[in-house]
Amino acid sequence: MSNTNYLLAVEDITVSFDGFKAIEALNLYVDQGELRVIIGPNGAGKTTLLDLICGKTRASAGSIKFKNQEMTRMAEHEIVRAGIGRKFQTPSIYENLSVFKNLEVSFPRGRSVFGALAFKCTEDVRARAQAVAEEIGLAAALELEAGLLSHGQKQWLEIGMLLMQDPELLMLDEPIAGMSARERELTAELLDRICRNRAMIVIEHDMEFVARIAHKVTVMHQGKILAEGAMEAVKNDPRVIDVYLGH
Amino acid sequence: MSPSELFNIVIMQGFAGFSLFSVLLLMGLGLAIIFGQMGVINMAHGEFMTIGAYTIYLASHLSETFAPGLMPYYFPPAILLAFIAAFAVGWLAEWLLIRHLYKRPLDTLLATWGLSLGMQQVFRSTFGPKEVSPTLPDWLLGSWSPMAGLDIPINGLFVMALTLVVCAVVFLAMFRSRWGLRVRATVANRAMANATGIDTRRTDRITYAIGCGIAGMAGAAFTTIGSTGPTSGSLYIVDAFLVVTFGGAASLLGTIASAFSISQVQSIAEFFLTGSMAKVLTLSLILLILMMRPQGLFASKVRR
Amino acid sequence: MNKIFEQFGTHRHAALILLMLLLAVVLPLGLDIFRLNLIGKYLSYSFVAVGLVMLWGYGGILSLGQGVYFGLGGYCMAMFLKLEASDPVSTKIQTTPGIPDFMDWNQITALPLLWQPFRHLPLALLAVVLVPGLLAFVLGVAMFKRRVSGVYFAIMTQAVALILSVLIIGQQGYTGGVNGITDLKTLLGWDIRTDRAHYILYFVNVALLGLVILGCQWIQQSKLGTLLLAMRDKEDRVRFSGYDVASFRTFVFCLAAALAAIGGAMFTLQVGFMSPSFVGIVPSIELVIFTAIGGRMSLIGAVYGTLLVNLGKTYFSESFPDLWLFLMAALFIGVVMAFPDGLAGIYSARIRPWLLNRRGIQAASSVTQAGNPARP
């Protein structure tokens, strides 16, 4: 495929598990600075799509280009270093390290074996961790063991760990699952803020939240894209209504 | 060496390989159930095989002493006894030890290694450090020569037949019986299986014990090709694990295929090289293939 | 588990100093050279145990083949010493003088190419670390890149141990077979069999062990140590933070191999021979036992574990040979079931709080409580 102006261009991607096609000939384009939300019923292939982009699952066919660079053959850590960050569905943080350590470990320096041996926590690392902690509302909890945080705070911490890497594309898998209404509101504000200088792909079920944050919505169903566009348009698409309410 | 002689040698080495195949397959089958299905790393598996072998020895000894007339007939019932003995010990071991460790697979490895040390010492104290051999019935000893220059040992054929029967029974039990269904359900999702009314603790115990019982039958097969000592089982433990891993841990069919290929490679290599170099060659080959394809021969691709 | 480590961490240096005092002062003063040499032999195993703390405790990778690296290190050392002991004068009764005796018995008439580098001490010392390190590197890259881990890694390393021990036993002419390489006499003309040499080697061993533990403590405190723990518990999170998990695992596997090899070389020097009985499956698992009993998260604990199990083994196998294996079995099952963190876990969960408590009550009379009765 030719080069594009898109930040991320997923083209004709297919993946099958033992013959079952989880995703089939899917195309997805994400602009610089865009906040895209992917919705769809369970088993639509949303998480698999994120897995494909970040290299956790390998595509059977198709291409994924990030800044016009082919990603499908790169190792996971190379994809991360190219500028793609991924948050998992269940909060995945280092429970028995402090919040500060969690952020420090995610700082993109000393990523090789010997780099890690020589790594020193200098002032700039400290400053960055402090700034990120303020962003995610955990500035007061820096020395707390991460396992003691509330479920919502853990979600934020994982987002914070990704912010330490300053990725150009941030992918969040159900970031508000298990959050209170207040926490949801704070998360929406957080996403608004951090989206200013990067693109994001968010998987979410909560329609109110989706409407609140999304620039553009993609609806997936059975491994394919069913509809794409502004939230209002998508919500009134008869095929989408059929998938969510029909059968 | 004429072509027909070479042909005979290949056939005979092949059949010699079949005895090894039977032992490896029975060991691997028991382990595929315990390790592949339950995830318990049973380092004492070799000792359960030894239990079976000593049971055969005891049966032959008792029959020789008290009922010499029964000598031609003792072997088949003794195989059943070997199964029962290993099954019983396995049941006990699961109750005392294994059931506390299901959540810590690597620790089952360490604990069962301790178990195997203890069992070896029990064997040593009971039967002495020297290797023993049962007196096999006469009908097992001869050889069958379908044509001149070709001798196929009967014990190999017998063990082969025994293995086939056990395999068939295990397959039927696994895929056609209520027990097999319960085992597969427990493996797939323990909490869900519990919720649907399956007694997973009981299922675990029976499954572990059956795996051990099959190892006991491997011990019965083993007595036809070698003599039994306290540490005989430990010689096969690595092979057994490689058989299961090489076949693809959760696949019973893979276990058969890998036991067959491993035993045949080793047996044929033994003809051209010394025994130890044949073993080195076989193990290195498996290791190399496993490094290329860590999931083993038969494994399905699923979303992780 | 991390709690334990942190508690221990504050006392890290005190614990190391205490251990060094015990090894370098108390034991040499209290024991005759025969017993001290025995302790030296056990201490050479503790290099492997320290490596296993890094690999297994921190890295979460259980290797059941550490005997391979211990053995390779030991053999590299032994090959040099054997060549020195096989000079043409002292082997003049052989068919081919100047080659090791077992080669002569196996009708080998020239020194094999494999042995040539071991004529030189610097090359031999380099080989002690490089040969096992390289093997670990190749195996590590091959397996960790393909995400082999946990049980499967353990089984594969065990297979390597089996292969190497069968190979060494099978290739008598090149390796000395089941007897190993024996009758080692001198190191660059210095007789290693004298009491004086045993003393010196013991202290070299203790010093090396101290350095190795310091080095490992430094690694544990660096970002690499944090990453190892992080990888053990949340592998994917580390990977998706931009780290190449495989290369970190390969590193810690090579580190453990190199440490085991140093232990092996020190074993050869102090005991005066090397044989395949230190390479195979059983010794490899025993090394894991030492680590488990000492505490898989504690470098210092691993050393105590090694010492205690071996002292117990020596005592019981001399006095009650039948009971020894039962005891070992019981100890092992007991530790795994009841004390997964080993002696170090018992110390920090039970003894240390009790000590602190006592110290709180009798703050004035600060006596030495660390449980090290100083013997003159």
pLDDT (tens digit per residue) in A72-88: 889 999 999 999 999 98
Predicted confidence band at B139 (pLDDT cuts at 50, 70, 90)? confident
Token readout for B94 is 């699961």
The nearest alpha carbon in chain A to B302 belongs to A17
Measured between its terminal Cα atoms, the distance across chain B in Å is 54
Q: In this predicted structure, which of A56-60, A96-100, B272-276, C66-70 has the lowest mean pLDDT?
A: B272-276
Select from B115, B242, B280 the Cβ nearest to the Cβ of C170: B280
The size of the A-C interface in CB pairs under 8 A is 80
Q: Please tell me the predicted confidence (pLDDT) of residue C368.
A: 36
Asked if residues C256 and C66 have their Cβ atoms less than 8 Å apart, the reply is yes
Is any Cβ of chain C less than 8 angstroms from the Cβ of B103? no
Q: Which chains touch A (3 or more CB pairs under 8 A)?
A: B, C
* Closest listed residue to residue C81, CA positions, set C100, C58, C107, C61: C100
Q: Please tell me the predicted confidence (pLDDT) of residue C11.
A: 63
More confident residue, B145 or A227: A227
Taking residue C168's Cβ as centre, other Cβ atoms within 10 Å add up to: 27
Taking residue A146's Cβ as centre, other Cβ atoms within 10 Å add up to: 24
CB contact under 8 A, B109 and C163: no
Q: Please tell me the predicted confidence (pLDDT) of residue A2.
A: 55
The nearest alpha carbon in chain A to C227 belongs to A105
| Dist CA B42 CA C37 (whole Å) | 37
Taking residue B8's Cβ as centre, other Cβ atoms within 10 Å add up to: 17
Q: How far is the CA of A133 from the CAs of A143, A148, A165, A166, C240, in angstroms? A: 11, 16, 13, 14, 20
Domain residue ranges of chain A, discontinuous segments joined by +? 91-154
Q: Please tell me the predicted confidence (pLDDT) of residue C243.
A: 94
The nearest alpha carbon in chain B to C341 belongs to B107
Q: Which of chain C's residues have a Cβ under 8 Å away from the Cβ of A96?
A: 1-3, 229, 233
Predicted confidence band at A165 (pLDDT cuts at 50, 70, 90)? very high
Select from C159, C170, C292 the Cβ nearest to the Cβ of B276: C170
Q: Please tell me the predicted confidence (pLDDT) of residue C366.
A: 37
Q: How many residues appear in chain A? A: 247
| Dist CA C302 CA C287 (whole Å) | 10
For chain B, the maximum distance between any two Cα atoms, rounded to a whole number of angstroms, is 67
Is any Cβ of chain A less than 8 angstroms from the Cβ of C239? yes
The nearest alpha carbon in chain C to B125 belongs to C322
Q: Please tell me the predicted confidence (pLDDT) of residue B290.
A: 86
Is any Cβ of chain B less than 8 angstroms from the Cβ of A89? no
Select from C139, C154, C166 the Cβ nearest to the Cβ of B276: C166
Q: Using one digit for the tens of pLDDT, what is the confidence trace for B207-225?
A: 899 999 999 999 998 888 8
* Closest listed residue to residue A104, CA positions, set B49, C224, C173, B184: C224
CB contact under 8 A, C151 and B41: yes
| Dist CA A88 CA B147 (whole Å) | 67
The nearest alpha carbon in chain C to B249 belongs to C152
**C323: which residues sit within 8 A by CB, 6+ positions away?**
C316
CB contact under 8 A, C234 and A56: no
pTM (2 d.p.) = 0.89
- pLDDT(B140) > 70: yes
Sheet with A216-221: strands ordered across: A84-87, A169-173, A199-203, A35-39, A216-221, A224-229
Q: Please tell me the predicted confidence (pLDDT) of residue B267.
A: 83
CB contact under 8 A, A94 and C241: no
CB contact under 8 A, B302 and A17: yes
| Dist CA C204 CA C44 (whole Å) | 11
Q: How far is C202 from chain A (nearest CA, A)?
A: 31
Paired with A87 in beta bridges are: A172
Asked if residues C231 and C54 have their Cβ atoms less than 8 Å apart, the reply is no
Is any Cβ of chain A less than 8 angstroms from the Cβ of C224? yes
Asked if residues C257 and C136 have their Cβ atoms less than 8 Å apart, the reply is yes
CB contact under 8 A, B301 and A17: yes
Mutate to test the interface with C, among B31, B41, B96, B109 (most CBs of C within 10 A): B109
Averaged pLDDT of chain B: 85
Q: Which of chain B's residues have a Cβ under 8 Å away from the Cβ of A17?
A: 301-303
Averaged pLDDT of chain A: 89
The nearest alpha carbon in chain A to B303 belongs to A17
Taking residue A130's Cβ as centre, other Cβ atoms within 10 Å add up to: 14
Q: How far is B111 from chain C (nearest CA, A)?
A: 5
CB contact under 8 A, B41 and C322: no
* Closest listed residue to residue C36, CA positions, set C189, C182, C200, C185: C200
CB contact under 8 A, A18 and B300: yes
Residues 161-200 of A with CB under 8 A from B: none
Mutate to test the interface with A, among B251, B301, B304 (most CBs of A within 10 A): B301
Q: Using one digit for the tens of pLDDT, what is the confidence trace for B14-49?
A: 677 778 888 889 999 899 888 877 888 899 999 999
Identity of the amino acid at B224: T
Domain residue ranges of chain B, discontinuous segments joined by +? 19-138+163-236
Low pLDDT (below 70) residues in chain C:
1-11, 359-376
Q: Please tell me the predicted confidence (pLDDT) of residue B249.
A: 66
Average pLDDT (B264-273) is 84
Main-chain phi, psi angles of A102, to 5 degrees: -55, -45
Q: How far is C156 from chain B (nearest CA, A)?
A: 7
Q: What is the CA radius of gyration of chain B?
A: 20
Token readout for C125 is 């010392």
Residue matched to tokens 């990725």: A167
Q: Which chains touch C (3 or more CB pairs under 8 A)?
A: A, B
Q: Please tell me the predicted confidence (pLDDT) of residue C247.
A: 95
| Dist CA C27 CA B234 (whole Å) | 38
The nearest alpha carbon in chain B to A59 belongs to B303
Residue matched to tokens 């196996």: C106
SS3 assignment, position A9: strand
Mutate to test the interface with A, among C217, C243, C253, C255 (most CBs of A within 10 A): C243
| Dist CA C152 CA B191 (whole Å) | 25
- Judged on CB neighbours under 10 Å (0-12, 13-18, 19+), C69 is buried
Mutate to test the interface with C, among A51, A52, A58, A92 (most CBs of C within 10 A): A92
SS3 assignment, position B145: strand
Task: Identify the sign of the CA torsion C228, C232, C233, C239.
Answer: positive
Q: How far is C225 from chain A (nearest CA, A)?
A: 8
| Dist CA A64 CA A79 (whole Å) | 11
In degrees, to the nearest 5, what angle opens at C-alpha A96 toward C-alphas A90 and A102?
A: 70
| Dist CA C267 CA A157 (whole Å) | 49
DSSP C251: H
Identity of the amino acid at B128: G
Q: Please tell me the predicted confidence (pLDDT) of residue A8.
A: 92
Average pLDDT (B152-180) is 85
H-assigned helices in chain C:
2-10, 12-21, 27-30, 33-52, 66-85, 101-105, 121-145, 150-170, 172-175, 195-221, 223-233, 235-239, 245-271, 281-294, 299-319, 321-338, 342-346, 352-361
* Closest listed residue to residue C258, CA positions, set C60, C125, C59: C125
CB contact under 8 A, B294 and C159: no
Is any Cβ of chain C less than 8 angstroms from the Cβ of B120? yes
In chain B, the percentage of residues whose pLDDT exceeds 90 is 22
Asked if residues C41 and C271 have their Cβ atoms less than 8 Å apart, the reply is yes
| Dist CA B46 CA B117 (whole Å) | 11
Identity of the amino acid at B270: E
Q: Which of chain C's residues have a Cβ under 8 Å away from the Cβ of B107?
A: 336, 340
H-assigned helices in C106-149:
121-145
Q: How far is C234 from chain B (nearest CA, A)?
A: 15
Return contacts of B130-135, CB within 8 angstroms, 24+ apart: B130/B229, B131/B227, B131/B228, B131/B229, B131/B232, B132/B54, B132/B57, B132/B227, B132/B228, B132/B229, B133/B57, B133/B223, B133/B227, B133/B228, B134/B56, B134/B57, B134/B59, B134/B60, B134/B61, B134/B223, B135/B60, B135/B64, B135/B71
